[in-house]
Amino acid sequence: MQVVAVANRKGGTGKTTACVNLAAELGARGHRVLVVDLDTQGHCAIGLGLGLGGTPRGHGGVHQAIADGAPAQALEALILPTPVAGVWLAPADTRFEHGRLQDAQDGLRAALARPALRARFDLVLIDTPPSLDALLIAGLSAADRLLVPFVPHPLSFDGVRQLARLVFAVVSRNNPGLRILGFLPVMAASHVRQHRALAAQVSQDFGSARMLPPVRMDIRVAEAFGAGRPVRDYAPRSRASEDFHAVADEVLRRLEAAQAAS
C-alpha cells in the first residue's frame, strides 16, 4: 500500500478535485483506494457521492479519530464505502476545531501502517488542508509521496513554494522517506500567457521530470461536484475526464517505478 498526500499551502488549487477524480480513475482500474479527508470542509464526501450530510448519524470523522489518542482502530471503524467503484472514504469532521490538535503527526502514520488496513487497500490518497497546522503536518508525515496540484496563478505558485519549504522541514524532522510524486497543473489554459509562464516556472524550479500532464479548464468539473459524481462518471467524454485519465496513467507509472526501486 502506498500513501499519497495531496497538498498545496494555497486554498482553491484543486486539491480535493484532484483527490476525488484521481481516486475514481484508479478505482476504475481495479485498485482499492482509500481517501482520507483531513480538510475540515469535508468536500471529498460531496465529490464521491456521499454529500456533507451523507455520513451516518453519529459516525465520527478522521479528525476525531486522531484526537482520541487511539487512531488506528478508530480510523478503520469510520471508513465508509462510496458509490464510486473501488473507492472508500475516511470522512472529515466538519465541526472539528483545528486548534484541538497540537501534536498529531505520528497518529495518522501509525494508523495507516496497521497491517489490517494495509492489506485492505492498494493506495491511500490524503486530502490535506491548506492551513499550516498539525493536520497538514500529519498528512505529510504519513505519506510516501506528495502530489501538488496548482492553478497557474501567482498566489498558487507562492503556495507551492511555501509547501516546498514545509516539506523540507517534514523530511528533516518527521518523515525522511517522503518524496515528491509530481506537480499537477489544474484549470490550465495553454492559450493564456500567464498560465504558460507560471507552469514553466514550476518546471524550472522543481524539474520538468516532476511535472504531470495538465488538467485543462472545464466547467464539467464543477458540474460533476454539484452532481456528487467524479467527472469520469458525469461527463466521460469531457476534456477534464480525458485529462484525469492521462494523469492517473502517469501517477500509476511513477508509483510502480518507485515501488520497483524500493
Exposed/middle/buried for residue 174 (C-beta within 10 Å: 0-12, 13-18, 19+): middle
In the prediction, which pLDDT does 58 show? 56
- As a whole number of angstroms, the distance between CA 139 and CA 126 comes to 6
pLDDT digits (tens, 9 = 90+) for 155-212: 767 778 888 888 999 999 989 999 999 999 988 666 667 667 777 777 777 888 888 9
* 3-state SS assignment for residue 184: strand
Max distance between CA atoms of the chain, in angstroms, equals 51
pLDDT digits (tens, 9 = 90+) for 91-101: 988 877 766 66
Judge whether 125 and 35 are in contact, CB under 8 Å: yes
Read off the pTM: 0.91
What is the topology classification, in CATH, of domain 2-261? Rossmann fold (3.40.50)
pLDDT digits (tens, 9 = 90+) for 29-76: 999 999 999 998 899 999 999 986 555 555 667 877 777 655 556 788
